[in-house]
Amino acid sequence: MRGALRRTLLGAVVVLAAAIAVPFLLPLSNFIPGLERIASAKLDQPVFIDDLHLHLVPTPRLVASGIRIGRRADVTIGELEIVPNLSSLVSGPPSVRLIRATRVELQQSVLRPGRRLPDGQRGEPIAVERVLLQDVMLHHPTLKPPRFDADVKLGDGLRLVQALLESRDGNMRLRVRPGGAFTFTAKNWTLPVGAPLLFEMVALQGSMKGEELDLPSVEGQIYGGKVVGSLRASWGKQWAVSGNASLAGVDLVPVQQALGKPAKLSGRLNARAEFTTQPDGLLLDGPFEVQGGAYQGVDLAKVGELTGQAAADDATPFEELTGKVEIRGRQVRLNELCVRSPKMVAGGTVEISPEQALSGKLDVSVAKTGGFFGVPVSLGGTTSEPSVTASKGYVIGAVIGTVLLPGLGTTFGAAAGSQLGRSGTSCR
């Protein structure tokens, strides 16, 4: 009995070893050309496979490696594993329990607008329950997404049941549900397109159907402040974006640094804005307020000094700066501008050209005048090197007052002359 049992166990081990070894001995490479033709026809793109194996443990599965899709290798896959449903091999139509792809590289061409998708009518689709993508990287000159994993669960007719996309560092998660509804959360996340602004946290809820994206809820923490808003976008014949946003307590210095601009304006920004896009660019309107900051490059408290020269360290500190912003394409206008500080109050209008040139007028009441008159000044220069100049009327009045009555006459002459160049704005 013991001898028979020993021979039986030994025979079982030999059979198992042979079962494991045989798949690696089978010349599966002979099947590669046929599989390449079938895959190319299904995807309507050339497909190339370097190697192919059949594994029997833990369950039967086909493993391919070195896969390239597209004439320029638009998609490459380090290893592709296909695990069939064993019951479907016995009866019923064939189905796949799992498709797992690792080391996936996607080139920007896969996102090219107008790219024709594979024809889904070429034969009956094979049922797939789950697709698992591991270590996926999208290469794009402007989009900079992190490496991520994706877990997609499918139902009948390849209907989406749920999809979960998560960055490999754990900072980003996207969950998609049937009908295009999705939630997106991220931390320490930089906008992948447009201005490279860094969000400490962002949470989005929305849906995407066809060529439309709807985000009714947008919440985030950015540069020490908060942002809340909504957005709707479509990209049919042309891009169209509209929405609204509210900012509270956003530190302006790191915002300017992220945009690659000198940090001329400091303080905490509160703002509300409605925005939309037109063929000629962005349209945005809304009130804003900056608290406890300063504007570097100009000291408005010195505008009453006829002989004063701008210094490199000149600045206008303020307790409050308010106004309404109006953006039309690349043209920016600040209306109802009001700057308040213990030393002065200034109000007026400022325009910023697409070339960042400054223009506009301000009425400045400085402390040394006792509030008796305002000094009208004209703005010039650029946002990086601003300049202010007292109006001609103010200068002429001051000169006449000095000639007629030195000292006190200068003040009265300037006060009278200032009325010739006032902008007609007020700051209450």
Query: What is the domain-level CATH number for residue 248?
Result: 3.10.450
Same structural domain, 20 and 164:
yes
pTM of the model: 0.75
pLDDT at 334: 93
**Residue 259 contacts by C-beta under 8 Å, 6 or more apart in sequence?**
195
Residue 39 lies in a domain: yes
Residue 360 lies in a domain: yes
Same structural domain, 146 and 195:
no
Same structural domain, 254 and 323:
no
Residue 117 lies in a domain: no
pLDDT at 421: 42
Tokens of residue 295, six digits: 């504007």
pLDDT at 415: 41
Instruction: Give whole-number Cα distances, 356 to 244, 317, 346, in Å.
Output: 25, 22, 22
DSSP bridge partners of 417:
none
Rounded CA-CA distance 33/49 in Å is: 8
- Terminal Cα distance for the chain, rounded: 108
Residue 120 lies in a domain: no
pLDDT at 312: 65
Same structural domain, 107 and 191:
no
CA-nearest of 136, 155, 123, 100 to 44 is 123
Residue 195 in 3-state DSSP?
coil
Tokens of residue 319, six digits: 């307790």
Same structural domain, 417 and 364:
yes
pLDDT at 406: 40
| Domain stops at, among 156, 176, 196 | 176
Same structural domain, 350 and 248:
no
Tokens of residue 77, six digits: 């896959």
Same structural domain, 239 and 307:
no
pLDDT at 113: 53
Residue 307 in 3-state DSSP?
coil
CA dihedral 28, 31, 32, 37 (to 10 degrees): -170
Residue 288 lies in a domain: no
Q: Which residues span the domain enclosing 250?
A: 184-263
DSSP bridge partners of 49:
67
Instruction: Give whole-number Cα distances, 71 to 76, 80, 140, in Å.
Output: 11, 19, 18
Residue 270 lies in a domain: no
Rounded CA-CA distance 269/291 in Å is: 7
Same structural domain, 146 and 40:
yes
Same structural domain, 37 and 171:
yes
> What type of residue sits at position 418?
S
Residue 271 lies in a domain: no
Rounded CA-CA distance 371/360 in Å is: 22
Same structural domain, 164 and 197:
no
Residue 119 lies in a domain: no
Q: Which helix (H) or strand (E) holds 86?
A: helix 86-90
pLDDT at 228: 97
Same structural domain, 129 and 231:
no
Same structural domain, 172 and 189:
no
> Domains in the chain: how many in total?
3
Q: Which residues of the chain have pLDDT under 70?
A: 1-27, 89-90, 112-125, 303-312, 366-374, 390-428
> What type of residue sits at position 301?
A
CB 256 within 8 A of CB 265: yes
Q: At what angle do helices 408-418 and 392-404 cross, to 10 degrees?
A: 150
